[in-house]
Amino acid sequence: MTSTELLEYCLAKPGAEQTQNNQRGANQIKVADVMFAMLCECNGREAISLKTSAELADELRAKHSCIIPGDHLNKAHWNTIYLDGELPNSQLYYLVDSSYQLVVSSLPESARHGLSG
């Protein structure tokens, strides 16, 4: 899976918008101005950082060598996933969906109301 394909998938989510983090050269994908994904280069490799529960973050890191604690993010709730690793595309899509839902569920009701899907 390429970073372009993942970016398109993320931006297809209701309310998703892309911003640039010029300091890191990263594409941040946000919903209601809250980041749920960040595409970047990490250790010279294409990667995506996604939000998750602390329990799932630890479990994923233990199972997959291509998943590391969030690069430059809260390591308890963010994982960085190398796109050239062994993680199947279906699991990447699932983790993007989970990150998006986690962020949407934490938004105020007024912000969630404007989203559909």
φ, ψ (nearest 5 deg) of residue 82: -70, 130
| H or E element, residue 37 | strand 34-42
Helix, coil or strand: residue 94: helix
Query: How confident is the prediction along the chain (117 residues), in pLDDT tens digits per residue?
Result: 888 999 999 999 999 999 987 666 789 999 999 999 999 988 899 999 999 998 899 999 999 999 999 878 888 899 999 999 889 999 999 999 999 999 999 999 888 887 865
β partners of residue 16: 31
Cα 111 to its chain centre, rounded Å, is: 20
Class of domain 3-108 (CATH, top level): alpha beta
pLDDT at 74: 87
